[in-house]
Each structure stands twice: as C-alpha cells, then as structure tokens.
C-alpha cells in the first residue's frame, strides 16, 4: 500500500518546537498506549478521509506497555485526547514544514496556535509570518457518523476565536480504525507578518 507521508512518533519528544520534552514525552506515551490498546503496530496506516484523501504511515519504537503505564493512563478519554494531539501535531509538522506550536488558552475554542517560522530576526530570534488555529479531538472507537458529529462540534467551538482573523484547522482522530476527519477549508493564509502572536 502506497503512503503519502510518514510520521515518527518519537519526534514529538525531540525538541518539538513550542513543546517541552516533558510534554512531548507525555503525548508520546499516551499515543503508544492507545495504539497498543487498539492493536496497531509500527508501520500501520493512518487514513485521512477528508479531501485531499491521503495515507500516512505511523512509526514508533515498539515496546511492551507495562502495567504501571497502563494504570497511569487508565482514564481512556484523557489518554485518547493526548494521543490525538500527538498524532495531529506531528502531521502538522510533516505537512507544513518548519512550525512551532503554542497551547491555546481556555475560551478560545481551540487547542493550539500554529506559527510558521519565516526567518531570523536581528537578535537571532524567530520571526513568524502567520498563525493558524488547531482544534483537536480524539475518539477511541467510533463510527464515521460519530466522527462527523465530533467534527461539527469542534468547528462550532473554534468560532470562539474567529475574530483572530486566522484560519482554523479542525481534526478528529479515531483510533480503532486509525482514521482522520478534518476541516481545513482555508488554504490561502492571510498575511499577518506585522502582527504579534496571539
């Protein structure tokens, strides 16, 4: 089966722009626990059902999940949401190139801001030309209709920060069948090069 992209889950732990190593390790561990529970193995294929449809090969270093780790992630809903963040942020990095993330605050209706690094400033600090919003949700096991309902709900939530003027990318990951539904209708990004990051 041909794939369009490859993501390495370990990359979320390795100085992922905008994340600490501790948070990256947290997201990575959640993803490996959920993927293991769904009986997926390294090299499995993640299908993106929305247009443009594509297939993503997902890789990680397979290890035996200890009982202690399983107990730590016994809250399946929390583990699934963290696993979804891991997958989607890595997908964003693969498909968008150099970018950095920033956790969104409550009442914005989104989970992360995504910033695109364009060049270095005089003080060798990053200068970002634009920013977009990402809403992420995970479902452990569900139907396509479940995914569509969750996607509509996340799109509605993202309207809370619509006045930012930045486009929103809303993504739902369903892990049992390893598939994604997304809404990414704005493909032309506005030029906000003179604006500060929200």
Looking at residue 44, what is its pLDDT?
A: 97
Q: Which two tokens stand for residue 46?
A: 């993640």
Q: Read off the pLDDT of residues 152-168 as tens digits, 9 standing for 90 and up.
A: 999 999 999 988 888 89
Q: What is the pLDDT of residue 132?
A: 86
Q: What pLDDT score was predicted for residue 55? A: 96
pLDDT of residue 150 exceeding 70, the answer is yes
- Nearest 5°: the CA angle 20, 178, 158 is 60
pLDDT at 118 (0 to 100): 52
Q: What is the mean pLDDT of residues 22-50?
A: 97
* Of residues 165 and 129, more confidently modeled: 165
Enter the pTM of the model: 0.86
Q: What is the per-residue pLDDT for 97?
A: 72
Top-confidence residue, 35 or 186: 35
User: What is the pLDDT at residue 94?
Assistant: 87
pLDDT for 36: 97
pLDDT in tens, 66-99: 999 999 999 999 999 999 999 999 998 888 776 7
Q: What value does the mean pLDDT of the chain take?
A: 86
pLDDT at 27 over 60: yes
Q: What percent of the chain has pLDDT over 90?
A: 65
* Secondary structure, 3-state, the chain: CCCCEEEEHHHHHCCCCCCCHHHHHHHHHHHHHHHHHCCCCCCEEEEECCCCCEEEEEECCCCCCCHHHHHHCCCHHHHHHHHHHHHHHHHHHHHHCCEEEEECCCCCCCCEEEEEEEEECCCCCEEEEEEEEEEEEEECCCCHHHHHHHHHHHHHHHHHHHHHCCCEEEEEEECCCCEEEEECCCCCCCCCCCCCCC
pLDDT-derived band at 196 (thresholds 50, 70, 90) equals: very low
Task: Report whether pLDDT(184) > 80.
Answer: no
Check pLDDT > 50 for residue 197. no
């Amino acid at each position: 089966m041909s794939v369009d992209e490859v993501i390495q889950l370990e990359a979320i732990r390795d100085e992922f722009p905008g994340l600490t190593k501790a948070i990256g390790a947290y997201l990575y561990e959640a993803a490996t626990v959920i993927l293991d529970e769904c009986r997926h193995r390294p090299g499995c294929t993640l299908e993106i059902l929305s247009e443009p449809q594509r297939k993503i090969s997902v890789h990680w270093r397979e290890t035996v999940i200890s009982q202690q780790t399983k107990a730590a992630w016994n809250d399946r809903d929390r583990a699934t949401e963290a696993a979804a963040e891991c997958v989607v942020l890595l997908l964003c990095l693969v498909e968008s190139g150099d970018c950095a993330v920033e956790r969104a605050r409550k009442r914005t209706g989104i989970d992360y801001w995504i910033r695109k690094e364009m060049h270095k400033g005089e003080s060798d600090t990053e200068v970002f030309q634009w920013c977009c919003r990402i809403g992420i949700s995970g479902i452990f096991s569900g139907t396509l209709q479940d995914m569509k309902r969750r996607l509509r709900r996340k799109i509605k939530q993202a309207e809370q920060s619509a006045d930012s003027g930045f486009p929103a990318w809303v993504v739902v990951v369903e892990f049992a069948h390893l598939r994604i539904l997304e809404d990414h209708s704005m493909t032309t990004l506005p030029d906000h090069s003179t604006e500060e990051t929200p």
